[in-house]
Amino acid sequence: AQKVTQAQTEISVVEKEDVTLDCVYETRDTTYYLFWYKQPPSGELVFLIRRNSFDEQNEISGRYSWNFQKSTSSFNFTITASQVVDSAVYFCALYTGGFKTIFGAGTRLFVKA
Amino acid sequence: DTAVSQTPKYLVTQMGNDKSIKCEQNLGHDTMYWYKQDSKKFLKIMFSYNNKELIINETVPNRFSPKSPDKAHLNLHINSLELGDSAVYFCASSQGPPSGGVSTGELFFGEGSRLTVL
């Protein structure tokens, strides 16, 4: 069975704090892709990052960084020095082929000024 | 130019009515999807179409009928609307797998269509 778990339903931080959003996935496939999407209050879904199962290198993009660990089946997302504009719902997702992407339940992040 | 566009953006209707949502993508992708996002923000796949063929029907009631007239369009028709159908419906597209390969599965979403059934 394939599953994505985002255990944190809501997180609230004060601006400039660092915050980590957790994602744990389950799959028996050896080839798969992991994603993070952002859904700001305006409602659209914005692609942030894709990682394939063979590439465990961590990635940094500005204030965003991602930590992929196959040993713990986790793909965590860290925002450094959070800003109010980071307030959104963040979704972790898993794709193993078969034209079906499984999404986690989302983590709602509130960043207070 | 909007990559994935869906209309209408908002739809308010009475129970029992029939309504349609249209989706078009200009990315040249061969796979399109409908996702439903409920009030708790949970995103669930409803249908996948690859090259106009239905690939996935995720136990959706048959009141929902998708139609793909060509690879760039995927419409969703809903009959006999019920209160529980109120949600945001997202259309998405992706590039299917290359021959013998696996696609990356990256989804490009439309802006969503908020359906409210009264």
Kindly report whether the peptide bond that precedes residue B8 is cis, defined as omega within 30 degrees of 0: yes
For residue A2, how many other CB atoms are within 10 A of its CB? 16
**B102 and A106: CB-CB below 8 Å?**
no
Residue A33, strand partner residues? A52, A95
A29-42: per-residue pLDDT in tens?
Answer: 999 999 999 999 99
Q: Which of A37, A50, A92, A99 to mutate to test the interface with B (most CBs of B within 10 A)?
A: A99
For residue A17, is pLDDT > 60?
A: yes
Question: Using 50, 70 and 90 to split pLDDT, how confident is the model at A97?
Answer: confident
B97: three-class secondary structure by DSSP: coil
Residue located via tokens 């130019």: B1
Chain B CB contacts of A97 under 8 Å are 97, 102-103, 105
Contact between B53 and B115 (Cβ < 8 Å): no
The values of phi and psi at residue A65, to 5°, are: -145, 155
Whether residue A103 lies within 8 A of chain B, CB to CB, comes out as yes
Q: Which of B23, B102, B103, B113 to mutate to test the interface with A (most CBs of A within 10 A)?
A: B102
For A33, B32, B76, the CA distances from B89, given in Å and listed in that order, are 24, 13, 9
Contact between B115 and B89 (Cβ < 8 Å): yes
B28-66: per-residue pLDDT in tens?
Answer: 998 999 999 999 999 999 999 988 899 888 878 999 999
Contact between B49 and B74 (Cβ < 8 Å): yes
**A33 and B96: CB-CB below 8 Å?**
no
Share of chain A above pLDDT 70, in %: 100
For residue B100, how many other CB atoms are within 10 A of its CB? 5
**A103 and B107: CB-CB below 8 Å?**
no
Residue A110, strand partner residues? A12
Burial (0-12, 13-18, 19+ Cβ within 10 Å), A98: middle
